[in-house]
Amino acid sequence: MANSALDLERFLPYRLSVLTNTISQAIARDYGERFGLAVTEWRVLAVLGRYAGLSAMQVAERTAMDKVAVSRAVNALLKSGRIRRSTHAEDKRRSVLALSAKGRKVYDEVAPLALRYERELLAVLDEVERAALERILDKLVAAGHDALMRAAAANAGR
């Protein structure tokens, strides 16, 4: 009988999750206390800082975060005045989110911290390795998206 034990230290999804969480926690140490932001709240701010006018569902899709986690983060950010919700100009049934002036200020202070952590992390790679990593990540993101779509289609057919 074959050993079916999962070697987590070699299992790519686990390793990527650990890396992501480690980096997020390191960055959060800088902004967490200073701004009272949770990791999920920063992720929402980061997406809205890059793409204004998204719905909460679109934020969830862009971050691959759970809809409930996005909803909680959005509610906390609305309550703290860091984002604002408005009605979509062309579709009055749809609400969209954007950074408020207060949220933009936080974004403008935290984004450089995040970029500094990225530079420090990538400093262990040379230019060739960085380019290869970019290509590999693009392929893995596309493959992950395809797998998610196949799973959704399979579940819809049940």
Q: Which whole number is the average pLDDT over 4-29?
A: 90
Q: How does residue 49 score in pLDDT terms, banded at 50, 70 and 90?
A: very high
Beta bridge partners of 84: 98
Q: Please, which pLDDT band fits residue 3 given cuts at 50, 70 and 90?
A: low
- Average pLDDT value for the chain: 91
pLDDT in the model for residue 4: 74
Whether 84 and 100 have beta carbons less than 8 Å apart is answered as: yes
- Residue 151 in this model has a pLDDT that exceeds 90: no
- For residue 103, give every residue at least 6 positions away whose Cβ sits within 8 Å of its Cβ, in sequence order, or none: 45, 48, 49, 77, 81, 82, 83
Which residue, 47, 27, 19, is CA-closest to 110?
27
**How many Cβ atoms sit within 10 Å of the Cβ of residue 145?**
11
Dump pLDDT digits (tens) for 111-122.
998 999 999 999
Q: What is the mean pLDDT of residues 53-62?
A: 94
Q: Is the pLDDT of residue 22 over 60?
A: yes
- Model pLDDT, residue 52: 86
pLDDT over 60 (residue 1): no
Residue 48 tokens, joined: 């809205």
d(CA 56, CA 95): 8
Query: Could you tell me the pTM of the whole model?
Result: 0.84
Q: What pLDDT, on the 0 to 100 scale, is given for residue 2?
A: 56
**How large is the average pLDDT for residues 52-81?**
95
